Structure 1
Amino acid sequence: MSWTDKLSGTRDQLRGLNKVIPDTTRAFGGLGKAVKEGGVLEFKTKEFVALGIAVAMRCEACIVLHCEALIKAGATREEVGDVLAMTIQMGGGPSMMYAAKALECFDELSNA
């Protein structure tokens, strides 16, 4: 499955979840909005943190959503590489495998 397909599938899954538990998903969305709009760090920096956590937690759905957000925020491949290097340093071998997936995802979505 391509990362573009993964992104589409993830959105479909989230829409389905929203239909079943709209109050919960709305509350979670509000939390995300508050975190991304508040504080002293810029949005792109926060998305770098989120990508690092997504890789460390081995969440492909999170990886694809945060790669998309980083592309929209103007992140470069080199910046993503730095984040992935730090994630590998903190998470070892499993993070290295998911960092490779994240870079592949970023590259595919950047060229879409």
Structure 2
Amino acid sequence: MKNYVKHYEFIANAMEELGGKIPNTMTSFGELHEKTITQGVLSSKVKELIALGIAITVRCDGCIAFHVHDALKAGATNEEIMETIGVAILMGGGPSVVYGCEAMEALKQFNA
């Protein structure tokens, strides 16, 4: 079983290291993330839930770790995250069931 809290920390550190090696790209990506997730017509919470749904359907463990973490930080409830997993399964089929289970595990770990 993956430790999503440690995986989140690993990816965060790796992204920082990557930023030192390709600063223009990573600075631009960081700015894109910040400006996209900022409250607009959609709340930051809703945007994080959308990102989580996409992370599940594209099968990205690191993205699942980040967006579960950030959705909780943005005020998402466990129920909202679980419903997001359900929508991802609708759109992604069987593989999204597997990665939905991964997202559920990440939720449990970040809540612990």
Shorter-chain TM-score tier: over 0.9
In percent, how many aligned pairs have the same letter? 36
SS of equivalent to 1:41? coil
Q: Counterparts in 2 of 1:92-111, with a 5 A limit? A: 92-111=93-112
Is 2:42 aligned against 1:41? yes
- Quote the residue 1:21 is aligned against: 22
SS of equivalent to 2:42? coil
Q: TM-score, normalised by structure 1?
A: 0.94
Q: Counterparts in 2 of 1:52-91, with a 5 A limit? A: 52-91=53-92
Structure 2 unaligned residues grouped into runs of 5+: none
**Deviations along 1:31-51, whole A, 9 cap, x unmatched?**
111111253100000000000
Which amino acid in structure 2 is aligned with residue 40 of structure 1? Answer: V
In structure 1, what is the Cα distance between the partners aligned to 2:101 and 2:75?
A: 20
SS of equivalent to 1:82? helix
Q: TM-score, normalised by structure 2?
A: 0.94
The Cα RMSD (Å) is 1.1
User: Any runs of at least 4 consecutive aligned residues in structure 1 with deviations exceeding 4 A, and if so which?
Assistant: none
Deviation of the 1:24 alpha carbon: 0.7
Structure 1 unaligned residues grouped into runs of 5+: none
Paired residues in the alignment total: 111
In structure 2, what is the Cα distance between the partners aligned to 1:95 and 1:102?
A: 10
